Amino acid sequence: MIRFSPHLEILPEVQRWIYPRLQNLKKLGFVLYEGTALALQLGHRQSVDFDFFLHDPLDQKQLRDAFPLLEEANLVTQLQDLENTQTFEISHPEADKGSVKISFFGTIDFGRIGEPRLTEDEVLLVASPLDIFATKLKVIIQRPSTKDYVDIIRLIKNDESLVEALGAASVFFGTDFSPMLSLRALSYYDDLLPPLSPSDSSFLKRQVSEALRSLSIKGLEKPALASANLSSKEVKNL
């Protein structure tokens, strides 16, 4: 299993306070996705939420046993209470240090291609950059935001392939994902607020052109799923 040193310096103080209290979640199969998962690996921006994905259905008792902070009624406000979606806002004990939103999603069945990574302090299991990239290529079609474009640019600059990520997204989401619509979303984003910098915009347009050229020659190659489960069997041995 790949281990990495997390960029904890990018977390606001309330997230740094919560961070070590999340260490039991990996044993239940939870994997961190979305912006914070990427920011912890690349250290490129601040992200203020925790989003945990689970292949299995959510077991609320197991979740609360593994993360007893949820029982602190004076610090926790439940924002969403569905069978397989639980979202909370958790405040720092010192009120002036803010709060953080943390979400747990069950029955996530798109699987994984990359191997999830373990923080070297063994607190969190985090989705691979390729798998995060693939999910973001779908997100920008549905609800584009500047932070997702910033993440995609940084992933490409970190040597993640746009074409490979398009293939991964096609495997994950099947007919619910269109590579061409995703590339179109990467080409037309004038309504983003705040807007991308001119240099980022130029970089992204070059990457889209190169991806289109590659696809016209080779077509879209779809990698095999490594596992239907988002987590890793190695976690049980920690």
Residue 116: which CATH number? 3.10.450.620
Residue 163, domain member (yes or no): yes
CA distance 206 to 226: 31
Task: Answer yes or no: do 103 and 160 share one domain.
Answer: no
Give, for all 238 residues of the chain, the pLDDT tens digit.
899 999 999 999 999 999 999 999 999 999 999 999 999 999 999 988 999 999 999 999 999 999 999 999 999 999 999 999 999 999 999 988 999 999 999 999 999 999 999 999 999 999 999 999 999 999 999 988 999 999 999 999 999 999 999 999 999 999 999 999 999 999 988 888 899 999 999 999 999 999 999 999 999 999 999 999 999 888 877 7
Q: Do 43 and 93 share a domain, yes or no?
A: yes
Residue 23: predicted pLDDT: 97
Residues 44 and 75 in one domain: yes
Taking the CB of residue 222, how many other CB atoms lie within 10 A of it? 14
Give the number of other Cβ atoms within 10 Å of residue 229's Cβ: 18
- Same domain for 47 and 15: yes
> How much of the chain exceeds pLDDT 70, in percent?
100
Residue by residue, DSSP assigns 187-227 as: H--TT-SSPPPHHHHHHHHHHHHHHHHHHHHH----PPPSB
Q: Domain check: are 164 and 142 in the same one? A: yes
Would you say residue 47 lies in a domain? Answer: yes
Residue 98: exposure state from Cβ atoms within 10 A (0-12, 13-18, ≥19): middle
- Strand 3-4: give its sheet, edge to edge: 3-4, 117-119, 125-126, 31-33, 49-53, 99-105, 85-91, 76-82
Number of domains observed in the structure of the chain: 2
Whether residues 73 and 166 share a domain: the answer is no
| Summary mean pLDDT of the chain | 95
The whole domain housing 140 covers 130-218
Q: Please check whether residue 194 lies inside any domain of the structure.
A: yes
**175-186 pLDDT, tens digit each:** 999 999 999 999
Mapped onto helix, strand or coil, the DSSP state of residue 117 is strand
User: Are 124 and 137 in the same domain?
Assistant: no
Taking the model in full, what pTM does it have? 0.94
For residues 143 and 108, state if they share a domain: no
Considering the domain architecture, whether residues 153 and 111 belong to the same structural domain is answered as no
